[in-house]
Amino acid sequence: MTDPVLSVRDLKVDFLTGTRKRVSVVRGVDFEVYPNEILCIVGESGSGKSVTALAATGLLPENAEVRGSVRLNGTEVIGADTETLLRMRGREVGFVFQDPSTTLNPVVQVGKQMTEGQVWNGLLARRDAHARAVELLREVEVANPEVRASQYPHQFSGGMRQRAVIGMAMAGKPSLIIADEPTTALDVTVQAQVLDLLARRKQETGAPIILITHDLGVVAETADRVAVMYGGRIVETGPVDEIFRAPRHPYTAALLKSIPRLNTTDRRLDPIPGQPVTPANLPPGCPFEPRCRVGNGRPLCQSEEPPLKDTGAATLSACHYWDEIPPDDLPARPRPQATTTPEEQAPLLEIRDLKVHFQIRRGILQRVAAHVRAVDGVSLKLFPGETVSLVGESGCGKTTTGRTVMGLIPATGGDILFDGKSMRGLSFGGMRRTRRNLQYVFQDPFSSLNPVKTVEDIVAEPLHIHGIYDEVGGAKYIAELFDMVGLSPQMFGRFPNEFSGGQKQRVGIARALALKPRLLILDEPVAALDVSIQAQVLNLLDDLQRELGLTYLFIAHNLSVVRHISDRVAVMYLGRIVEEGTRDAIYDSPSHPYTQSLLSAAPIPDPVAGRRRKRIMLQGEVPDPSNPPKGCAFSPRCFRASERCHSEKPPFVHAPGSPTGVACFHAGPLDGAAPETEIPIKMEAGR
């Protein structure tokens, strides 16, 4: 067996905070990384995964105390002098960080940033730096590298920036790459490109990659080996197939059961109860014990933290009772579908040819310099009691559509009818009355609750505004609402910052329900939550819909979540709906090439199935909405595009016999004629 590139032994990291408190963030981590492999470290927020990676190269801030041993190519990192560390970072490790919009210096040319580490470490002569930068950009498949090398980061699109960062990480031909959530900030089609690039660069260089992520789909798609972290320790590690097939730690098993899957049929999610532990409040014994199905309440689990031990098939698990984990045979309790057949009823909400255009004004005279057609002719019907999802990548106009329906953004054209009555041109009072029937749940529970109000006041606020607080029963009614969303009325006097993300989102939902609306617009309601909390909130939404007969307009980018919750799905691209149909039709027999690519790009948390499926690698990125392509907006990236597509906009039609409605001249099932996985990538300027 070859020697490991990186060997971490009993790594412990404590943070000393301002009040001289000591918080243990990493509490004894062991792992190795061997050449030519991808090791995924997966965990929720607070699990210590990023800190582990940063500690491995001494990049932690000064208030971090690091103990244990980290050997990189045989050299000890912990306690090494600055000289050694600098040389190591310059030559042996390359880093890719999460957000490509902030990891590059805005006022330094990209090419210079890519090579300066090598120039400084004496690996590259200053006069060769530009040529080397061009070469690196070419290697990461950025078009026009000569020009790009002397541009600044703001002239790059998000995906291109991350390509440049990957090129930079590989510039010194390092023996190890550490990528910390490298695709979290990117759209799913761009994520697929970047992950593919990382994997291919690894093949070419042989340098192993440590990939840190919270996304089990990304793990399944990329990893050779997996380390699952919880509460500052690795709780399970092993080959990727083994981990997903037969998890040997209750946390891994529970996590896999709690996520909605793209490739499984209806079943109610099985959430992990409680909150992820934070380093500041670890329970004694096993940190997962309070949430564990297997060990909860058992004296051994409560008193003794289990060590990692061999559980066969090259896996290790830190669980006293790992052999008692029940197999994944939960009865498929079906998720309730909409009870009525939609066609029999009048739609509750009808969006007709909605257009929302923004003007970009420039200069002192505020001349209109450009129009952004954020929403450009969207039509959609929502029938009572059903869930319709708007899904698409950033900039597709899904949130704008939702906010316009809510009356938060004025429409430029088209009409919105609620219960058969037009909402456009309503007086303030009329709008206000209608608004009681539709409410909005925001994506970010951290910013959607007023920090200076108690949660009781927050939930009661809509009632006060409409002057019906006493009419509906005052504090007693608020208590009922709290109960309905699974919060205790004992929490009334607390402020939002005393709540966890999932609880805050429950408060947000309670507030939206206060006025007894008939329609909820849910704008990415689980996107900001930890994986294990998402299931709790999704189940809550399910229950509320059934109990209250609510209609949902669900806005999301996560295709698995959408599949789980929707009755019907509309796929948006650059301000238009490109395909719409029942959930199963969209997922099982999509006919728009964009829907097909989107579904194939979404990582699925099943390594075996993932390897079998054919992937469509889209070219380029979503174009600038203020300067959209002529004809079909998707045509520049489309694998079926013909001459006609580049000049003519395809109308949205629901052809007889077709399972879905589509806006495409070449709609059809993805069959043997599907494109090869390898498409020569031609990067378009993303902006």
Partner 1 sequence: MNSLRFMLRTIRGLMARPGPALSLLYLTVVVLAAALAEVLPIDPFSQDFVMMLEGPSAAHWFGADELGRDILARVIYGARTSLVTAAGAVAIAGAIGIPMGLVAGFFGGWRDAVLMRIVDVMMALPAILFAMALIAVFGRSQGAALLAVGLTGVPGFARIVRAQVLTLRRRDFVVAVEAFGGTSGYNMFRTILPNSWSQILVQVVVLSSVAILLEAALAFLGVGVPPPTPSWGEMLRTGKSYLYEAPYYAVLPGIALTLTILSFDTIGRGLARILENPRDVAAAGGPT
Partner 2 sequence: MIGYVLRRILQLLPVLLLASIGIWAMLYAVPGGPVGMILGENATPEQIAATRAELGLDRPVVVQYLDWLGSVFRGDLGLSIHSREPVLDLIMHRLPATLQLAFVATIVAILLGVPVAIISAMRPGSWLDRVLSGWSALALGVPTFWLGILLILLFAVYLHLLPSASVYAPLWSDPVTALKSLILPALTLGVYVSGVLARFLRASLVSEMNADYVRTARSKGLPERQIMRAHIIRNAMLPFITIVGLQMAAFIGGAVVTEAVFTYPGLGRLLIQAINTRDYPLIQGCIVVILVIYVLINLTVDVIYAYVDPRIEYR
Tell me which of partner 2, partner 1, none is bound by residue 618, counting a contact when its beta carbon lies within the kind-specific cut-off of 5 to 8 angstroms.
none
Nearer to partner 2, 666 or 687 (CB): 687
17 is a contact residue toward partner 1 (CB under 8 A): yes
- The contacts of residue 276 (CB under 8 Å, 6+ apart) are 44, 45, 46, 47, 230, 530, 532, 533
Using CA atoms, how far apart are residues 386 and 342, in angstroms rounded to an integer? Answer: 8
121 binds, among partner 1, partner 2, none (CB under 5 to 8 A by kind): partner 2
Strands 367-382 and 349-362: antiparallel
DSSP string over 523-561: ESTTTTS-HHHHHHHHHHHHHHHHHHT-EEEEEES-HHH
- Is residue 156 at the binding interface for partner 2, with CB under 8 A as the rule? no
- Burial code of 531-570, b = ≥16 C-beta within 10 A, e = fewer? bbbbbbbbbbbbebbeeeebbbbbbbbbbbbbbbbbbbbb
Q: H-type helices in 381-441, by residue range?
A: 398-405, 428-435
The rounded distance, in Å, linking the Cα atoms of 441 and 110 is 39
From 278-286, 339-347, 351-359, 565-573, span contacting partner 1 (CB under 8 A): 278-286
Contact between 219 and 195 under an 8 Å Cβ cutoff? The reply is: no
Each residue 67-86 as x (binds partner 2 by CB under 8 A) or -, in order, gives ---------------x--xx
102 binds partner 1 (CB under 8 A): no
Q: Which of 8, 11, 39, 47 binds partner 1 (CB under 8 A)?
A: 47
Pairing of strands 421-422, 316-317: unpaired
> Is residue 13 part of the contact set for partner 1 (CB under 8 A)?
yes
Q: Which of 75, 102, 303, 339 binds partner 2 (CB under 8 A)?
A: 102
Query: Under rule CB under 8 A, how many of the chain's residues touch partner 2?
Result: 34
Is 462 a residue that touches partner 1 (CB under 8 A)? yes
Give the Cα separation of 568 and 580 in Å (integer). Answer: 7
| 339 makes contact with partner 2 (CB under 8 A) | no
Would you count residue 436 as binding partner 1 (CB under 8 A)? yes
Give the other-Cβ count within 10 Å of 528's Cβ: 19
Query: Does the protein bind partner 2 through residue 88 (CB under 8 A)?
Result: yes
Per CB under 8 A, the list member of 7, 15, 176, 178 interacting with partner 1 is 15
Q: Does 435 engage in binding with partner 1 (CB under 8 A)?
A: yes
* 91 touches partner 2 by CB under 8 A: yes
Contact call for residue 399 and partner 1 (CB under 8 A): no
Question: In the Cβ-directed half-sphere of 170, how many Cα atoms lie within 13 Å?
Answer: 25
CB of residue 12 vs partner 1: minimum separation in angstroms? 13
178 touches 210 (CB < 8 A): yes
Residue 427 in contact with partner 1, rule: CB under 8 A: no
Residue 673 interacts with, from partner 1, partner 2, none (CB under 5-8 Å by kind): none
Q: Which does 448 bind (CB under 5 to 8 A by kind): partner 1, partner 2, none?
A: partner 1
Q: Report if residue 680 touches partner 2, rule: CB under 8 A.
A: no
DSSP state of 188: H
Task: State the binding partner of 99 from partner 2, partner 1, none, CB within 5 to 8 A by kind.
Answer: partner 2
Q: Give phi and psi for 517, each to the nearest 5.
A: -75, 165
- For the chain, what is the total number of helices (H) and then of strands (E)? 22, 23
Q: What sign does the CA torsion over 582, 588, 589, 592 have?
A: positive
Q: Give min distance, CB of 213 to partner 1, in A.
A: 13
From 32-40, 107-115, 272-280, 289-297, give the range in contact with partner 1 by CB under 8 A: 272-280
Q: Report the residue number, 19 or 488, with the smaller CB distance to partner 1.
A: 19
Residue 511 binds partner 1 (CB under 8 A): yes
Token pair for residue 659? Answer: 């399972």
Q: Which does 363 bind (CB under 5 to 8 A by kind): partner 1, partner 2, none?
A: partner 2
Checking DSSP bridges between strand 233-239 and strand 75-76, what pairing results, if any? unpaired
Helix H or strand E encompassing 222: helix 216-222
| Rounded Cα–Cα distance for residues 35 and 21 (Å) | 39
Interface with partner 2 in residues 163-202 (CB under 8 A): 165, 168, 172
- d(C-alpha 432, C-alpha 180), whole Å: 46
In terms of DSSP bridges, do strands 387-391 and 413-418 run parallel, antiparallel, or are they unpaired?
unpaired
**Pick from 419, 399, 417: nearest CA to 409:** 399
Q: Does 117 bind partner 2 (CB under 8 A)?
A: yes
Stretch 353-392: interaction string toward partner 1, x if CB under 8 A: ----------------------------------------
Q: Which region, judged by CB under 8 A, interacts with partner 1, from 156-164, 215-223, 449-457, 630-638?
A: 449-457
Assess 105 for contact with partner 2 (CB under 8 A): yes
CB nearer to partner 2: pick between 155 and 619: 155
154 near partner 2 (CB under 8 A): yes
Pairing mode of beta strands 209-213, 176-180: parallel
Q: Measured between alpha carbons, how far is 260 from 40 in angstroms, rounded to an integer?
A: 20
* Near partner 1 by CB under 8 A: residue from 406, 485, 487, 562: 406
How far is it, in rounded angstroms, from Cα 251 to Cα 242?
A: 15
Least distance CB 398 / partner 2 (angstroms): 28
Q: Which of partner 1, partner 2, none is residue 49 near (CB under 5 to 8 Å by kind)?
A: partner 1
Q: How far lies 675's CA from each of 78, 296, 599, 615, 640, in Å?
A: 49, 50, 15, 9, 9
- Write out the two tokens for 617: 């690698």
Which residues ranging from 543 to 582 are in contact with partner 1 (CB under 8 A)?
none
Among 97, 156, 554, 594, binds partner 2 (CB under 8 A): 97
Binding site for partner 2 (CB under 8 A): 57, 59, 82, 85-91, 93-95, 97, 99, 102-108, 113, 116-117, 120-121, 152, 154, 165, 168, 172, 363-364
Binding site for partner 1 (CB under 8 A): 13, 15, 17-19, 21, 23, 25, 45-51, 54, 60-61, 64, 278-280, 403, 406-408, 428, 431-432, 435-436, 439-440, 442-444, 447-452, 461-462, 465-466, 497, 511, 514-515
